[in-house]
Homo-oligomer: A and B are copies of this chain.
């Protein structure tokens, strides 16, 4: 494996193709692997660019965003690239002023019917055109599948209403049942925006999309059924004709698992709290993605290997894309990431003993 040369490791081109196979429901002999936040602060080459340009310039400058997207592929035998961007990116075109420091800060939160009415639904071409350029640049640089993404409407709304990240979004949780009509109007608009943004990314060349619903788990099942599911259904129906597979991630949402049963997604991304066997029983249809605890990557190599193999073992019995249960942590040693990927690629999912000879 290369660790410092700029050339992309192509030694596992065959394995790499398996991401799309696994997302098509194929029980592949090895699990394809990518890692949430694989382009991020744990890489010194990322930090060098971040220190120089700052987050928004990195996202909005296609050459930089493409370079950062490709950085982890130069080090590791990853089976997918994921667009370097932020779930809040498309909101700028809707008229929301957002600052990143590093989490999003919305100085003028959206809380009233008038706030929602003041938002505009941009055309496909108006939404973050730099993202389309980034996607084209990445696609022309690698044959590794590229994953695009968007925030789910509910999660976008948590930030817009709260005014930024707050840990537990108590204001949003009080607002949602207090302002149901306004909430529905906001969520409808965010749904339309998300559909256009994803169609733009798909048109520009992403081969997979992931919907990040980072805060869905804050809601109980009734609230999720009312304010989450209908919008997710509309998004999934709108992008279905493109044939591009969609991965849905909700964090801390094991209480919502049965609500996800009828969601027409190709894959569910699972956080580390719920083991994949349990999820597969509760939601038998989709490919499962996940779910090593990212904190484990701070442990010694033997602990990482053991925990990784347990996840791989739990992932048997259906299609599995290996990933973390949450984003890579900035303090992760890159060597542990390399070892993790080797462990995944050396694990034979069809052999009872687990590890291949």
- Tell me if A261 is interfacial: C-beta within 8 Å of chain B: no
Task: Give Cα A217 to B172, complex, Å.
Answer: 22
CB–CB B307/A274 < 8 A: no
Task: Give Cα A297 to B175, complex, Å.
Answer: 11
Task: For residue A166, give the distance in angstroms from its CB to the closest CB of chain B.
Answer: 11
How many residues on A have C-beta within 8 angstroms of the other chain's C-beta atoms? 38
Cross-interface CB contact of A298 among B174, B221, B273, cutoff 8 Å: B174
- Tell me if A178 is interfacial: C-beta within 8 Å of chain B: yes
Task: Give Cα A329 to B166, complex, Å.
Answer: 14
CB–CB A275/B174 < 8 A: no
A253-290 contacts to B, CB under 8 A, are 254-255, 272-275, 278
CB–CB A170/B329 < 8 A: yes
- Tell me if A222 is interfacial: C-beta within 8 Å of chain B: yes
Number of this chain's copies in the complex: 2
Task: For residue A41, give the distance in angstroms from its CB to the closest CB of chain B.
Answer: 14
Cross-interface CB contact of A178 among B171, B217, B252, B299, cutoff 8 Å: B299
- Tell me if A293 is interfacial: C-beta within 8 Å of chain B: yes
Task: Give Cα A93 to B329, complex, Å.
Answer: 35
CB–CB A173/B220 < 8 A: no
Task: Give Cα A153 to B338, complex, Å.
Answer: 35
CB–CB B295/A278 < 8 A: no
Task: Give Cα A236 to B84, complex, Å.
Answer: 50
Given A173-B295, A254-B255: A275 in contact with B178 (beta carbons within 8 A): no
Encode contact with B along A290-307: 1 for CB under 8 Å, 0 otherwise.
000111111110010011
- Tell me if A177 is interfacial: C-beta within 8 Å of chain B: yes
> What are 19 A-B contacts with C-beta separation under 8 Å?
A167-B167, A169-B295, A170-B295, A171-B295, A171-B298, A173-B296, A174-B296, A174-B297, A174-B299, A174-B303, A175-B299, A177-B299, A177-B303, A177-B306, A178-B300, A218-B273, A220-B272, A252-B252, A252-B273
User: Sorted from nearest, which 9 A-B pairs have the closest CB atoms?
Assistant: A173-B295, A174-B298, A254-B255, A170-B295, A174-B299, A178-B299, A255-B274, A174-B295, A255-B273
